[in-house]
Protein backbone atom coordinates (compact mmCIF):
# COMPACT_ATOMS: atom_id res chain seq x y z
CA UNK A 1 0.00 0.00 0.00
CA UNK A 2 1.39 3.43 -0.80
CA UNK A 3 2.50 5.79 1.90
CA UNK A 4 1.32 9.41 2.01
CA UNK A 5 4.71 10.62 0.84
CA UNK A 6 4.41 8.55 -2.35
CA UNK A 7 1.09 10.21 -3.12
CA UNK A 8 2.59 13.61 -2.28
CA UNK A 9 5.41 13.09 -4.78
CA UNK A 10 2.97 11.78 -7.39
CA UNK A 11 0.84 14.90 -7.01
CA UNK A 12 3.89 17.16 -7.28
CA UNK A 13 4.95 15.40 -10.49
CA UNK A 14 1.46 15.63 -12.01
CA UNK A 15 1.13 19.26 -10.95
CA UNK A 16 4.40 20.16 -12.64
CA UNK A 17 3.29 18.36 -15.81
CA UNK A 18 -0.34 19.54 -16.04
CA UNK A 19 -1.09 22.65 -14.00
CA UNK A 20 -1.92 25.68 -16.08
CA UNK A 21 -2.52 23.56 -19.18
CA UNK A 22 -5.71 22.76 -21.04
CA UNK A 23 -6.68 19.14 -21.56
CA UNK A 24 -6.77 18.33 -25.24
CA UNK A 25 -8.10 14.84 -24.71
CA UNK A 26 -9.38 12.58 -21.94
CA UNK A 27 -9.90 8.86 -22.18
CA UNK A 28 -11.58 7.18 -19.21
CA UNK A 29 -11.39 3.40 -19.31
CA UNK A 30 -13.81 2.64 -16.49
CA UNK A 31 -17.46 1.98 -17.36
CA UNK A 32 -18.96 4.70 -15.17
CA UNK A 33 -16.90 7.41 -16.86
CA UNK A 34 -16.50 5.97 -20.35
CA UNK A 35 -18.56 8.71 -22.00
CA UNK A 36 -16.94 11.63 -20.17
CA UNK A 37 -14.95 14.06 -22.24
CA UNK A 38 -12.90 16.65 -20.39
CA UNK A 39 -11.18 18.19 -23.38
CA UNK A 40 -11.15 21.95 -23.05
CA UNK A 41 -10.96 21.86 -19.27
CA UNK A 42 -8.06 23.68 -17.62
CA UNK A 43 -6.01 21.97 -14.93
CA UNK A 44 -5.81 24.39 -12.01
CA UNK A 45 -3.96 22.27 -9.53
CA UNK A 46 -3.00 18.70 -8.63
CA UNK A 47 -2.98 18.13 -4.89
CA UNK A 48 -2.81 15.30 -2.37
CA UNK A 49 -5.01 14.92 0.69
CA UNK A 50 -3.72 12.04 2.77
CA UNK A 51 -3.44 9.25 0.22
CA UNK A 52 -6.11 10.74 -2.03
CA UNK A 53 -5.18 12.67 -5.15
CA UNK A 54 -7.22 15.44 -6.75
CA UNK A 55 -6.81 16.99 -10.19
CA UNK A 56 -8.80 20.22 -9.95
CA UNK A 57 -10.28 21.43 -13.22
CA UNK A 58 -12.11 24.50 -14.39
CA UNK A 59 -13.60 25.68 -17.63
CA UNK A 60 -15.05 22.38 -18.79
CA UNK A 61 -18.76 21.95 -19.51
CA UNK A 62 -19.13 21.26 -15.81
CA UNK A 63 -17.78 24.48 -14.39
CA UNK A 64 -15.72 23.12 -11.52
CA UNK A 65 -14.76 19.52 -11.34
CA UNK A 66 -12.11 17.38 -9.76
CA UNK A 67 -10.73 14.02 -10.79
CA UNK A 68 -10.48 12.08 -7.55
CA UNK A 69 -8.22 9.04 -7.45
CA UNK A 70 -6.67 6.71 -4.89
CA UNK A 71 -3.75 4.40 -5.62
CA UNK A 72 -4.93 1.69 -3.16
CA UNK A 73 -2.54 -1.28 -3.42
CA UNK A 74 -1.24 -1.30 -6.97
CA UNK A 75 -2.10 2.04 -8.52
CA UNK A 76 0.23 4.59 -10.06
CA UNK A 77 0.17 7.78 -12.11
CA UNK A 78 2.83 8.19 -14.77
CA UNK A 79 3.73 11.21 -16.89
CA UNK A 80 4.91 10.64 -20.46
CA UNK A 81 5.84 12.68 -23.46
CA UNK A 82 3.31 12.00 -26.20
CA UNK A 83 4.26 8.84 -28.08
CA UNK A 84 6.60 7.60 -25.34
CA UNK A 85 6.25 3.90 -24.48
CA UNK A 86 4.30 3.27 -21.26
CA UNK A 87 6.05 1.44 -18.47
CA UNK A 88 2.93 -0.53 -17.52
CA UNK A 89 0.64 -2.66 -19.73
CA UNK A 90 -1.97 -0.65 -21.59
CA UNK A 91 -4.84 -2.78 -20.35
CA UNK A 92 -4.16 -1.63 -16.78
CA UNK A 93 -4.67 2.03 -17.72
CA UNK A 94 -7.82 3.50 -16.20
CA UNK A 95 -7.53 7.03 -17.55
CA UNK A 96 -5.37 8.91 -20.02
CA UNK A 97 -5.21 12.71 -19.87
CA UNK A 98 -3.48 14.56 -22.64
CA UNK A 99 -2.45 18.21 -22.64
CA UNK A 100 -0.54 19.07 -25.75
CA UNK A 101 2.53 16.86 -25.83
CA UNK A 102 2.14 15.70 -22.23
CA UNK A 103 0.29 12.54 -21.33
CA UNK A 104 -0.68 11.53 -17.78
CA UNK A 105 -1.81 7.93 -17.34
CA UNK A 106 -3.45 6.48 -14.24
CA UNK A 107 -2.88 2.72 -13.92
CA UNK A 108 -4.79 0.31 -11.67
CA UNK A 109 -6.33 3.12 -9.66
CA UNK A 110 -8.36 1.83 -6.72
CA UNK A 111 -10.69 4.83 -6.88
CA UNK A 112 -11.41 6.95 -9.93
CA UNK A 113 -14.30 9.37 -10.01
CA UNK A 114 -15.30 12.85 -11.07
CA UNK A 115 -16.65 15.02 -8.33
CA UNK A 116 -17.88 18.56 -7.90
CA UNK A 117 -17.46 18.23 -4.13
CA UNK A 118 -13.92 16.99 -3.49
CA UNK A 119 -14.15 17.90 0.20
CA UNK A 120 -16.83 15.25 0.71
CA UNK A 121 -14.50 12.52 -0.55
CA UNK A 122 -12.01 13.18 2.22
CA UNK A 123 -14.29 14.44 4.99
CA UNK A 124 -13.73 11.24 6.96
CA UNK A 125 -9.96 11.66 7.12
CA UNK A 126 -8.04 12.70 10.18
CA UNK A 127 -5.42 15.47 10.04
CA UNK A 128 -3.29 15.25 6.90
CA UNK A 129 0.32 14.57 7.87
CA UNK A 130 1.56 16.42 4.79
CA UNK A 131 -1.21 19.01 4.67
CA UNK A 132 -0.73 22.72 5.25
CA UNK A 133 -3.37 22.42 7.97
CA UNK A 134 -1.68 19.54 9.86
CA UNK A 135 -3.16 19.46 13.37
CA UNK A 136 -1.05 17.53 15.87
CA UNK A 137 -3.46 18.06 18.76
CA UNK A 138 -6.41 16.59 16.90
CA UNK A 139 -4.28 13.72 15.61
CA UNK A 140 -3.21 12.91 19.17
CA UNK A 141 -6.81 13.05 20.38
CA UNK A 142 -7.94 10.77 17.57
CA UNK A 143 -5.15 8.33 18.36
CA UNK A 144 -5.92 8.22 22.07
CA UNK A 145 -9.67 7.95 21.55
CA UNK A 146 -9.75 4.15 21.29
CA UNK A 147 -7.44 3.13 24.14
CA UNK A 148 -7.83 -0.63 23.74
CA UNK A 149 -7.12 -0.77 20.05
CA UNK A 150 -3.80 -2.18 18.81
CA UNK A 151 -1.39 0.65 18.02
CA UNK A 152 -0.42 -0.99 14.74
CA UNK A 153 -4.03 -0.87 13.57
CA UNK A 154 -4.76 2.65 14.84
CA UNK A 155 -1.78 4.07 12.96
CA UNK A 156 -3.06 2.66 9.66
CA UNK A 157 -6.54 4.10 10.23
CA UNK A 158 -6.73 7.16 7.97
CA UNK A 159 -9.50 8.60 10.16
CA UNK A 160 -6.95 8.98 12.98
CA UNK A 161 -4.37 10.77 10.84
CA UNK A 162 -3.97 10.58 7.10
CA UNK A 163 -0.90 9.41 5.22
CA UNK A 164 0.55 6.43 7.12
CA UNK A 165 0.98 3.15 5.25
CA UNK A 166 2.48 -0.14 6.33
CA UNK A 167 6.11 0.99 6.27
CA UNK A 168 5.61 4.00 8.53
CA UNK A 169 3.31 2.20 10.95
CA UNK A 170 5.99 -0.43 11.57
CA UNK A 171 8.75 2.14 11.85
CA UNK A 172 6.69 4.30 14.21
CA UNK A 173 5.95 1.37 16.51
CA UNK A 174 9.68 0.65 16.67
CA UNK A 175 10.56 4.28 17.37
CA UNK A 176 7.94 4.32 20.13
CA UNK A 177 9.41 1.14 21.63
CA UNK A 178 6.01 -0.51 21.40
CA UNK A 179 4.90 -3.80 19.92
CA UNK A 180 2.42 -3.28 17.04
CA UNK A 181 -0.16 -5.26 19.02
CA UNK A 182 0.28 -3.11 22.12
CA UNK A 183 -2.86 -1.16 23.02
CA UNK A 184 -2.94 2.54 22.22
CA UNK A 185 -3.16 3.18 25.96
CA UNK A 186 0.50 2.07 26.22
CA UNK A 187 1.59 5.15 24.25
CA UNK A 188 2.89 7.54 26.92
CA UNK A 189 2.58 10.68 24.78
CA UNK A 190 0.27 10.47 21.74
CA UNK A 191 1.21 13.99 20.63
CA UNK A 192 4.89 13.02 20.53
CA UNK A 193 4.00 10.01 18.38
CA UNK A 194 1.97 12.24 16.04
CA UNK A 195 5.00 14.55 15.87
CA UNK A 196 7.23 11.62 14.93
CA UNK A 197 4.88 10.64 12.12
CA UNK A 198 4.78 14.21 10.87
CA UNK A 199 8.55 14.55 11.04
CA UNK A 200 9.18 11.30 9.14
CA UNK A 201 6.71 11.96 6.33
CA UNK A 202 7.83 15.56 5.95
CA UNK A 203 11.50 14.54 5.80
CA UNK A 204 10.71 12.05 3.04
CA UNK A 205 8.06 14.01 1.15
CA UNK A 206 10.22 14.98 -1.79
CA UNK A 207 13.09 12.50 -1.64
CA UNK A 208 13.16 9.33 -3.73
CA UNK A 209 14.60 7.18 -0.91
CA UNK A 210 12.40 6.67 2.16
CA UNK A 211 14.44 6.88 5.34
CA UNK A 212 13.48 6.68 9.01
CA UNK A 213 16.89 6.01 10.58
CA UNK A 214 18.58 9.21 9.46
CA UNK A 215 21.10 7.10 7.51
CA UNK A 216 20.28 7.25 3.81
CA UNK A 217 22.99 4.82 2.78
CA UNK A 218 21.65 1.86 0.83
CA UNK A 219 20.25 -0.85 3.10
CA UNK A 220 20.36 1.32 6.22
CA UNK A 221 17.29 3.45 5.66
CA UNK A 222 14.74 1.60 7.80
CA UNK A 223 14.65 0.19 11.33
CA UNK A 224 12.45 -2.89 10.99
CA UNK A 225 10.26 -2.88 7.87
CA UNK A 226 11.24 -5.68 5.49
CA UNK A 227 14.13 -6.73 7.74
CA UNK A 228 12.87 -10.06 9.15
CA UNK A 229 15.63 -12.27 10.57
CA UNK A 230 18.18 -9.50 10.27
CA UNK A 231 19.69 -7.97 13.42
CA UNK A 232 17.99 -5.05 15.13
CA UNK A 233 20.02 -1.90 14.57
CA UNK A 234 19.78 -1.09 18.28
CA UNK A 235 20.22 -4.39 20.08
CA UNK A 236 21.15 -7.06 17.54
CA UNK A 237 18.10 -9.26 18.19
CA UNK A 238 16.63 -10.79 15.03
CA UNK A 239 13.69 -8.80 13.67
CA UNK A 240 10.48 -10.82 13.51
CA UNK A 241 7.88 -10.73 10.78
CA UNK A 242 4.41 -11.39 12.12
CA UNK A 243 0.76 -10.94 11.36
CA UNK A 244 -1.53 -8.51 13.15
CA UNK A 245 -5.27 -8.26 13.27
CA UNK A 246 -8.26 -10.40 12.65
CA UNK A 247 -8.16 -11.01 8.94
CA UNK A 248 -10.11 -8.03 7.69
CA UNK A 249 -8.38 -5.70 5.30
CA UNK A 250 -5.74 -6.44 2.67
CA UNK A 251 -3.17 -9.06 3.63
CA UNK A 252 -0.27 -6.66 3.16
CA UNK A 253 -1.70 -4.43 5.87
CA UNK A 254 -1.58 -7.24 8.41
CA UNK A 255 2.16 -7.87 8.03
CA UNK A 256 4.17 -6.40 10.88
CA UNK A 257 7.89 -6.29 11.60
CA UNK A 258 9.24 -5.72 15.08
CA UNK A 259 12.19 -6.31 17.38
CA UNK A 260 11.02 -8.64 20.16
CA UNK A 261 13.55 -7.12 22.57
CA UNK A 262 13.04 -3.41 21.86
CA UNK A 263 9.29 -3.86 21.42
CA UNK A 264 8.19 -6.41 24.01
CA UNK A 265 4.59 -7.53 24.08
CA UNK A 266 2.84 -5.57 26.80
CA UNK A 267 -0.14 -6.69 28.86
CA UNK A 268 -3.31 -6.15 26.89
CA UNK A 269 -1.71 -6.81 23.52
CA UNK A 270 -3.69 -8.71 20.95
CA UNK A 271 -2.47 -11.88 19.28
CA UNK A 272 0.43 -11.73 16.88
CA UNK A 273 1.35 -14.82 14.94
CA UNK A 274 4.79 -15.43 13.63
CA UNK A 275 4.92 -16.16 9.96
CA UNK A 276 6.21 -19.58 9.09
CA UNK A 277 9.74 -19.45 7.82
CA UNK A 278 10.71 -16.74 10.27
CA UNK A 279 13.64 -17.90 12.35
CA UNK A 280 13.57 -14.84 14.61
CA UNK A 281 14.28 -15.44 18.26
Shortest distance, position 101 Cβ to Zn ion, whole Å: 52
Size of the site for Zn ion (CB under 5 A): 7
Cβ nearer to Zn ion, comparing 14 with 167: 167
Contact in structure between 34 and 146 (CB atoms under 8 Å): no
Binding part of the chain for Zn ion, among 91-99, 126-134, 222-230, 251-259 by CB under 5 A, reads: 251-259
**Separation between Cα atoms, residue 38 and residue 48, nearest integer Å:** 21
Annotated active-site residue 21? The verdict is: no
**Separation between Cα atoms, residue 71 and residue 108, nearest integer Å:** 7
- The one among 259, 269, 270, 272 contacting Zn ion by CB under 5 A: 259
- CB count within 10 Å of CB 243 equals 14
- The one among 220, 230, 234, 273 contacting Zn ion by CB under 5 A: 234
Residue 61 Ramachandran class (φ > 0 left, ψ -120 to 50 alpha, else beta)? alpha
Contact in structure between 90 and 100 (CB atoms under 8 Å): no
Contact in structure between 234 and 225 (CB atoms under 8 Å): no
Shortest distance, position 234 Cβ to Zn ion, whole Å: 5
Cβ nearer to Zn ion, comparing 107 with 223: 223
Closest CB to Zn ion belongs to which residue?
Answer: 232
Contact in structure between 223 and 230 (CB atoms under 8 Å): no
235 binds Zn ion (CB under 5 A): yes
Contact in structure between 121 and 134 (CB atoms under 8 Å): no
Q: Is the dihedral of CA 169, 174, 176, 182 positive or negative?
A: positive
224 binds Zn ion (CB under 5 A): no
Cβ nearer to Zn ion, comparing 90 with 264: 264
Shortest distance, position 182 Cβ to Zn ion, whole Å: 15
Annotated active-site residue 254? The verdict is: yes
> Which entry of 2, 48, 183, 260 is annotated as an active-site residue?
2
Cβ nearer to Zn ion, comparing 194 with 259: 259
Annotated active-site residue 267? The verdict is: no
Shortest distance, position 213 Cβ to Zn ion, whole Å: 13
Which among 62, 47, 63 is positioned nearest to 14, based on CA atoms?
47
Q: What burial class does residue 69 get, using C-beta atoms within 10 Å of its C-beta: 0-12 exposed, 13-18 middle, 19+ buried?
A: buried
Cα atoms in the 13 Å half-sphere on the side-chain side of 82? 8
| CA-derived radius of gyration, the chain | 20
Shortest distance, position 66 Cβ to Zn ion, whole Å: 45
192 binds Zn ion (CB under 5 A): no
**Separation between Cα atoms, residue 13 and residue 104, nearest integer Å:** 10
Annotated active-site residue 230? The verdict is: no
- The one among 53, 139, 153, 262 contacting Zn ion by CB under 5 A: 262
Cβ nearer to Zn ion, comparing 251 with 261: 261
Beta-bridged to residue 244, according to DSSP, are: 272
144 binds Zn ion (CB under 5 A): no
> Which entry of 3, 103, 171, 253 is annotated as an active-site residue?
3
Active-site residue set: 2-3, 51, 254
The residues of the shown chain that bind Zn ion, judged by CB under 5 A, are: 232, 234-235, 237, 259, 261-262
Amino acid sequence: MPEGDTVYRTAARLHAALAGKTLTRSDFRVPALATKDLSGAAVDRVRPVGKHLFIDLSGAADRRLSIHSHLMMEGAWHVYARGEKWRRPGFTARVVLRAGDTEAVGFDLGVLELTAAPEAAVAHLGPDLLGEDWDRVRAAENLAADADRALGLALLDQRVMAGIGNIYRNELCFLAGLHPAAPVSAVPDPAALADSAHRLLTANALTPVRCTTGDRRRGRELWVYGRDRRPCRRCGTAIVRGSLGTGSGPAAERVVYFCPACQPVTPGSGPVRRRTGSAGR
